Amino acid sequence: KLEGLKTIAVTTNGINLTRLLPRLKEAGLNAINISLDTLVPAKFEFIVRRKGTNLSSKATVLILAGMCLLSLQVNCVVMRGFNEDEVLDFVDFTKDLPVDVRFIEYMPFDGKYCCFQILLGQS
């Protein structure tokens, strides 16, 4: 409710998002960034470090895209030897959804990390 505030966004791996979404929308949420580095369920569990994850970020993306209520973006950090073979799968997965996809290159830099982004989407 701050004057001039136009966007309230959250970045999430999406695991609890569908459960929390009604309250977040009441609070004014109007944009979501979902971190989704893989479409492969076993790799997703490895990344989030939770076994038996019933609702993956892929399912969350489909649910939110179907609702078309919020600005939705998927961030994918591309890592050599882990998910670089999935880039075209991400493009195919999101091509007909109201979703922007950002491919972010994982780059170690003097012990710290920086990112290079490529934005694909409808905007």
Predicted confidence (pLDDT) per residue in 13-58, tens digit? 887 787 888 888 888 888 888 888 888 888 888 877 777 555 566 7
Q: Examine residue 79 and state whether it is found in any structural domain, yes or no.
A: yes
Q: How many other β-carbons are positioned within 10 Å of the β-carbon of residue 28?
A: 11
Placement of tokens 């999101």 in the chain: 94
- With beta carbons less than 8 A apart as the criterion, state whether 13 and 35 touch: yes
Token code pair at residue 115: 């990112």
Distance of CA 48 to the CA centre of its chain: 13
CA–CA dist 60, 98 (Å, integer): 13
Q: Examine residue 3 and state whether it is found in any structural domain, yes or no.
A: no
Distance of CA 22 to the CA centre of its chain: 18
Q: Examine residue 114 and state whether it is found in any structural domain, yes or no.
A: no
Output the pLDDT for position 1. Answer: 66
Q: Examine residue 37 and state whether it is found in any structural domain, yes or no.
A: yes
CA–CA dist 63, 84 (Å, integer): 25
Domain total for the chain?
1
Output the pLDDT for position 122. Answer: 44
- Bridge partners of 73, per DSSP, are 33, 100
Residue of 75 and 107 predicted with greater confidence: 75
Q: Examine residue 1 and state whether it is found in any structural domain, yes or no.
A: no
pTM over 0.85: no
Domain boundaries, position 84: 9-105
Considering only CA atoms, which of 32, 39, 40 is closest in space to residue 14?
A: 32
